[in-house]
Structure 1
Amino acid sequence: MDWQDILFKFVGGLGIFLFGIKYMSDGLQKTAGDKMRNLLATYTSNPIKGIIVGIVVTILIQTSTGTTVMAIGLVNAGLMTLRQVIGVILGANIGTTMTAFIVGIKIEKYSLPIIAVGAICLFFISKKKVQYIGQIIFGFGMLFLGLSTMGGGLKPLQGLPVFTDFIIQVSEVPVLGVLVGTVFTMIVQSSSATIGILQTIADEGMITLQGALPVLFGDNIGTTITAVLAAIGASVAAKRAALVHVIFNVAGTILFTLALPIVHRAVLWIGEDVNIRMQIAYAHGMFNVTNTLIFIPLIPVLAWIASKVIRGKMTEIEFKPKFLDARLLATPAVALGQAQNEIIRMGTYAREILNDASDYFFNKDDKVANLALQKEQLVNELERKITEYMVKISQSGLPEGESTKASTLMHTINDIERIGDHAENIVELSELRISNKVEFSAEAENELREMLKLADHTVERAIYALEHSDKEAAADVLVCESELDRMEESFRKSHIARLNQGQCSGTSGAIYLDILSNLERVGDHSKNIAQFILQEDQH
């Protein structure tokens, strides 16, 4: 037996298979528009919607792990609640069965022509949309080529007594099959890949459906390890979400392993006339759909268990307006007050992004950077929703005094959003600094620390002035803004002097000057808010 040939074909086939899934997934994302995170954060207001979004996103990105990790990132930032994320996790488990169904279609002999069609679309047609479709087709063909290569490599194993004895043992002891599936998926880090391998082995006649089912159930436990790793060091909410993922898959595996004879008969009955690869896909679908139906009414219980096991306070930020209520539009003055509350909330987040940007620059913690970027998405979303609400208030008709206030608030929305944008720019510049290992002199760092502190104070006073219509605070903002302008000019000169003396590199100089410029713009937008407050007072 040529062990080298077996190993090379298996490892190479697995590589081609994983590449096929990834490449097809990238093409699907580009075709659908890369808005998965927004879809997750925006359309998951209740668990049923969460399940549907989880299914759709997972089908589009072809990995339940990716969806779950993305959802955990959002819950970590407080942009989704634990109950919302449970719905997404349940949906992701259903969505991931799509790969098994694709593998169930036996078209390996057509894999090369499929790759050729994909290549033609990719390399001979200049239209972007066609290229993305070509990418999907190319990945689809690669997926089957990988399966075919793996199958060819594993075929000689069926004549090996050690292997056949092990497969018999797995068939007779379901717990051993579950363990094999769990460990293998933990190693490969992709349940789609391990289920694809299982379908290929079964298709080669190396394992029966009865023996394959426990391994399949174990694959579902193994896929939770990535979510657990993503939650390490994350917020309490993220850890709870990862725990729910584990509970869901472990409970489902225990249930289906205990009911193995019934599951086996059900799969044979549903998939009577199909190949064993498709029968495994049916079993995978049955596992996740049944599990989801069982757990939908238990979502509050899952959230309660996760809260009891993982203790700690959890701050949840709703990724939607908190104060805007369409019913209040009938009373425009009240609606205007609620809009102001939402604008203040938006301003608070914009200030937090600036603080997170500062924290990231000095402490280089990626989690803080992710948090800042997610809050920035929230600020953008609030800007859109508040503007729509304010337009409706204006259409309802306001008394002259209220109308002036509404006009002031409308102007401030854009300035707050721009403060968030400049803070995001600082996060990106910090990322550039960290990835390129750019060092700053102690003097430059101190200057940035000083200016960041003043910029934060300026934003804080501007938001306070807006909330309380406080003209003293607004006047304070104008003083701070002038000081920020002076600092920017002074620090720019001193940094250019350091560059000329060779104390700093060109890259550090460019990053430093860009941060100064962004902070100066933060001051300008704070000044705009303050001036609107002062003008309103004059009216």
Structure 2
Amino acid sequence: MLNRLFFPSILLLLLYGFWVSSEFKVIAAGVAIFLLGMVYLEKGFKLYTGGLLESILQKTTDTVWKSFSFGLVTTSLLQSSSLVSVIVISFLSAGLIGLTTGVGIIFGSNLGSTAGAWLVAIFGLKINLSTYAMPMLVFGLILNTREGKHFKGIGYILMGGGFLFLGIHYMKEGFDAFSESIDLTKFHVQGGYGIFIYTLVGIVATVIMQSTNALMVLVLSALGGGQLGYENALAIAIGSNIGTTVTAVLGSIRANAQGKRLAVAHFVFNILTGFLAIVMLVPLMAVVDEMALFFGISDNDYPIKLTIFHTLFNVLGIMVFLPFIQSLVRWLNSLFVDSSDPMPLNLAEADDPAMEKAIYLNPAVLSYPDAAMRAMTKECGRLYRNTLELICYGIYLTGEKLREADNLPDLVETWKRTDQPWPIKGLYIRHIKGIYADIIHFCGALEGNLPRQQAQELFALKVACRNFVQAIKHVKHIYKNMGLYIESDNEQIRHQYNQLRLCLASVLKLIDILGVRRNYDHIHEHAVQLKQELLEQDRQTNETLNRLIRSEQVDSYMASSLLNDSAHVHDACTSLIDGAVIMLTRDKEEYRE
């Protein structure tokens, strides 16, 4: 409801501004061009990094100070704290980095976002940036028409930089023209009341523009043109820092628990930093004056002094928070239910009719190959864990009993699961189908964004998941007969079906051991040996079946069921083995060969 009222109101205000003031048109166009430049810059870095940024992130964030430095440097270079935030949330969701690392990067990113204000204050208001913008736009457009990701990436970056410079130029020109026709200084508000009002202005403007950098350029242009009071500009800078948290909170609504925790950390840090800046406004202004005097900055060079203040109160917030970052992380970990670390599937308590969905496949990671592949790997692992439980259910065992058992033949002969309240088809729909559908959809969206090697690995994972689903479908076919014949009075048919149970249980047990122990060295030999054993067992089952028929120990109805079910078990085991081999060796050189 609020959005329906808010959006038309903004459009009406803009139309009114365009109607009454030609200078307002120039300023608004400057803001729009500046924001367009940020979009192109972000798009260019996404293309040009091609996994480099993710690789650096993984290798250089093992301590809080390294994480902080990463956030500071990357945001200063990319001029987009939103791009850095998306990468951080993506990697956090995929489990590539921890929450402490994410919080450290966000702290550094907050400070790095002040770099754009320094650029504008030192150069943008003193030289004609449009002179540099035009060639950047021309060369950027030419490079963008070339084939190849790197050419397009550099083209987007040049065009983004050109639009940024052009936007700064138009904002400055607009406020210079404003000063000749309209005097905005009459809107100055002094004292605490003014700080409160203009802090709110900063918050609302940042939410509307979705960019602290754009607002700070606007404020610096107005301050340089004498259209905004110094104290009011300081309050807007504080409000802009607080306003960025609204975007972070809204962006985390669909994130997992880790993403929400990071948004809370961002919110708490910026709110408390803003509160500190307001409480200590007078002492901070005195420090800014002393620093300006020390560096020989003119007393009335308010754009530079505003930039110093903006940097100073962010440094103050970081100094206050960094010593308590571990305490902050412990508190954050107590918030929200972490669905990204689910409890193992327990079919004894599976009374929730809701269909399970993928929990690691966040759409935000699609632009970042390393994070996307890690998320895909974790989701495939989760699909296998559910597959193991459902197959155990189909042969009247449990995953827990299977893992605990040291003697599988004894377990199969002496123990049978008694609580089987749900049909296996319903369990397949609830615990497999939704996850598998999400995996297929994610693969389709991701495939075109990957280099060749990762594209091969993604295809392998998709095939592994297909094998696990096929194994369950084979077990679905034997479920009814399995329940009937393992309780049969006919000892021979009961023994044969227990052998089928043992075959599936043995394969599941071996896969589980190989996966837990990460025993990669001889998995191909294990796979080949298992398949030979399956063929031998299939041959023996046929011989035994012929003997039992000839001796009339089983009737033809039992024999046909056993023959069909034996084929299903053989195919299920083969699918499980093939899927496991892919999951455990897909990133090894021998598999790619």
Aligned twin of 1:216: 237
- Deviation at 1:123? 5.5
Matches within 5 A, 1:253-332: 253-271=274-292, 272-273=296-297, 275-308=301-334, 310-313=335-338
- Deviation at 1:131? 7.5
Aligned twin of 2:173: 152
Q: Is the 1:50–1:88 contact (alpha carbons within 8 Å) kept by the matching residues of 2?
A: yes
State the distance in 2 between where 1:187 and 1:477 align: 66
Asked whether 1:243 is paired with 2:298, we answer no
Q: Is the 1:7–1:153 contact (alpha carbons within 8 Å) kept by the matching residues of 2?
A: yes
State the distance in 2 between where 1:424 and 1:59 align: 36
* TM-score, normalised relative to structure 2: 0.56
Asked whether 1:11 is paired with 2:32, we answer no
Q: CA 1:130–1:207 in structure 2 vs 1: closer, same or farther (change >3 Å)?
A: same
Q: Is the 1:172–1:211 contact (alpha carbons within 8 Å) kept by the matching residues of 2?
A: no
Amino acid at match of 1:305: W
Worse overlay, 127-136 or 272-281: 127-136
- Deviation at 1:430? 4.4
Helix, strand or coil: the match of 1:105? helix
- Deviation at 1:311? 4.4
Amino acid at match of 2:53: M
Asked whether 1:118 is paired with 2:128, we answer no
2:70 maps to which of 25, 44, 53: 53
State the distance in 1 between where 2:122 and 2:575 align: 57
- Deviation at 1:240? 1.5
2:54 maps to which of 15, 24, 37: 37
CA deviations over 1:506-538 (Å, ceiling 9, x no partner): xxxxxxxxxxxxxx999646357999xxxxxxx
State the distance in 2 between where 1:32 and 1:278 align: 33
- Deviation at 1:113? 2.6
Aligned twin of 1:186: 207
Worse overlay, 82-91 or 422-431: 422-431
Worse overlay, 7-16 or 241-250: 7-16
State the distance in 1 between where 2:220 and 2:254 align: 36
Instruction: Say how many residue pairs are matched.
Output: 399
State the distance in 2 between where 1:4 and 1:38 align: 49
- Deviation at 1:176? 1.7
CA deviations over 1:181-221 (Å, ceiling 9, x no partner): 11111111111111111111111111232221111011001
Q: CA 1:69–1:522 in structure 2 vs 1: closer, same or farther (change >3 Å)?
A: farther
Q: CA 1:168–1:451 in structure 2 vs 1: closer, same or farther (change >3 Å)?
A: same
Amino acid at match of 2:104: G
2:373 maps to which of 376, 389, 394: 376
- Deviation at 1:122? 3.4
Q: Is the 1:202–1:208 contact (alpha carbons within 8 Å) kept by the matching residues of 2?
A: yes
State the distance in 2 between where 1:216 and 1:113 align: 28
Q: Is the 2:340–2:359 contact (alpha carbons within 8 Å) kept by the matching residues of 1?
A: no
Q: CA 1:121–1:156 in structure 2 vs 1: closer, same or farther (change >3 Å)?
A: closer
Q: Is the 2:64–2:104 contact (alpha carbons within 8 Å) kept by the matching residues of 1?
A: yes
Matches within 5 A, 1:132-171: 136-155=157-176, 163-169=184-190
Q: Is the 1:474–1:530 contact (alpha carbons within 8 Å) kept by the matching residues of 2?
A: no
State the distance in 2 between where 1:82 and 1:45 align: 12
Amino acid at match of 1:289: V
State the distance in 1 between where 2:189 and 2:330 align: 41
Q: CA 1:182–1:369 in structure 2 vs 1: closer, same or farther (change >3 Å)?
A: closer
- Deviation at 1:151? 3.2
CA deviations over 1:354-412 (Å, ceiling 9, x no partner): xxxxx99x96989556679736237999xxxxxxxxxxxxxxxxxxxxxxxxxxxxxxx
Amino acid at match of 1:139: G
Structure index of larger Rg? 2
Aligned twin of 1:464: 512
- Deviation at 1:75? 2.2
Q: CA 1:377–1:135 in structure 2 vs 1: closer, same or farther (change >3 Å)?
A: same
Structure 2 segments unaligned to the other structure (5+ residues): 1-16, 345-353, 379-435, 448-465, 477-503, 539-573, 586-593
Aligned twin of 1:177: 198
- Deviation at 1:28? 5.1
Matches within 5 A, 1:315-354: none
Amino acid at match of 2:511: I
Q: Is the 1:477–1:526 contact (alpha carbons within 8 Å) kept by the matching residues of 2?
A: no
Matches within 5 A, 1:454-533: 463-464=511-512, 466=514, 467=516, 475=530, 524=578, 526=580
State the distance in 2 between where 1:5 and 1:369 align: 42
Helix, strand or coil: the match of 2:189? helix
Aligned twin of 2:9: none
- Deviation at 1:223? 0.6
Helix, strand or coil: the match of 1:223? helix
Helix, strand or coil: the match of 1:106? helix
Q: Is the 1:462–1:530 contact (alpha carbons within 8 Å) kept by the matching residues of 2?
A: no
Aligned twin of 2:103: 86
State the distance in 1 between where 2:135 and 2:469 align: 59
Pairwise CA RMSD of aligned residues? 4.7
Structure 1 segments unaligned to the other structure (5+ residues): 318-347, 349-358, 382-421, 434-446, 484-519, 532-539
Aligned twin of 2:558: none
Worse overlay, 122-131 or 242-251: 122-131
* TM-score, normalised relative to structure 1: 0.61
Instruction: Answer 1 or 2: which has greater helix percent.
Output: 1
Amino acid at match of 1:122: G
